[in-house]
Structure 1
Amino acid sequence: METWRRLAARVAAALAAGLAFTALTAAAAEPSSTSSTLSRVEKSGVLRVCTTGDYRPFTDLQPDGSYVGIDIDQAHLLAKALGVKVDFVKTTWPTLMQDFIAGKCDIAMGGISVTLARQKVAAFSTHYMVDGKTPIARCADADKYQTLQQIDQPDVRVIVNPGGTNFQFAKDHLQHAEVIVYPDNTTIFQQLVDGKTDVMVTDGTETLLQHKLHPQLCPVNPNHPLTYGEKAYLIPGNDLPFQDFVDQWLNLEIRSGEFKTVVNKWLG
């Protein structure tokens, strides 16, 4: 009888230890408000924002080292809502996720597309813009590139910047066209203007801006893009306090019309 009592006591102790371990594991996986990015940003007084600086109209690095664009204005507004200042952290499209996961910034902003691959290792705010991949070409040639089939031909030179969703689109959809990977996203459209390439497929918002900057270039059916996409802000995964704050701030921005004012400033 004593043996059964001892056995029961050992089982009870093991179950208690297991439950305690489960509780500790859950607590570690679910950050409290005190360990949230929100709390850390408020204590440091700085919101660190990763941005590429090469994707107009969202983010554009100036010669003096400052940044301008839709999401740069938004970053300043978010920092104001938090009561802190902004520190922009330079990144690139190929290294964006690596830099973000390494903790170099608290949030990433700058026309970032929501993708399942990025969602696996981080989280996104609610989306603030719906966009999609759209061709852009010299206006005289735009009729030649109305469909993906017309673009994906051996005699068509498609230019693409490395690392982001434009590159992934070309990789997934272009098997026959000549794909030219061009590393400088700030001068890539001049390659089209100069006739060194024929077409680029990028986000519709960017094609509209580039048409304003380079009237020789025309978006191809920007109201009917080749894909559906959303733009949002990249935030740490499993951090509900910070995500809730960013989502509510963004919701108020959109509802109040302030976000529209920012967009109209850059796109008209």
Structure 2
Amino acid sequence: MDVLRYRWNGSELVDISGAPMIPLYVADSFLLRAGQVAGFARHLDRFATSATTQGLVRPVDTFLDAVTVTLPKTGVYFPRIDLTERGELELWVRPAPALKEHIVLATATCDPRTEPALKGPDIPALTELRKLAQAQGADDAVIVDAQGRVIDGSTTCLLWFDGDTAVIPPAEAIRVDSVTVALVSELLKAEGTSLTERWATPQDLSNREIYALNALHGVRAVTQWREGPLVALNPTRFAALRESYESQFENISEA
């Protein structure tokens, strides 16, 4: 399947597939499967909020309505909505890559982010960081702060378990406000699981269950951390987490 790219002209989305790439101010992407997305309204809200933060003064509601209508209702896709540095609003309709349930991590040697709370501007730098991790035989890089504490992944967020308590990095670990983390956190709380925020270095996570969360793959179990901590696996809990997350997919027309 071809990648399609549309640009909003103020009244409709126009096909500009093949046009030159433009640096981003904001981007948001999600897994679209048979016309369903997990947390679709949250993705649109995050995009609108980020666009306002980046200085866009005109509303994006009509653009987002057009996006909802244009997105395919069959097949599996990984669309992205963009605000470019020229102020243009765009939609990419991209076939989804292979979806995976497991992931191997490696610790990044640097933090290249310049806008850590926004998704979009740092995508090229984070892509390069991920490529360095892949050169080590990993799937994703884990960004740590100056004290060596876990902040985020280059394309994923991390959640781990300390006994029966789920843990995520604290709010002061500045990162993109993940829709997937929000959904999983709410599901865990609804099921009676304690959830807390806590700093941790990779070594603090030795023999812990670690999960990588993002909008493409949902919940993945970390099976290895290259030159990092040994990880524990809990197939029963992993299956339950994935099943709970799958329940969040809903028709985009009803989101």
TM-score of the two chains, using structure 1 as the length reference: 0.30
Greater per-residue helix proportion? 1
Identify the structure with bigger relative contact order (alpha carbons < 8 Å, sequence gap 6+). 1
Greater per-residue strand proportion? 2
Structure label with greater radius of gyration: 1
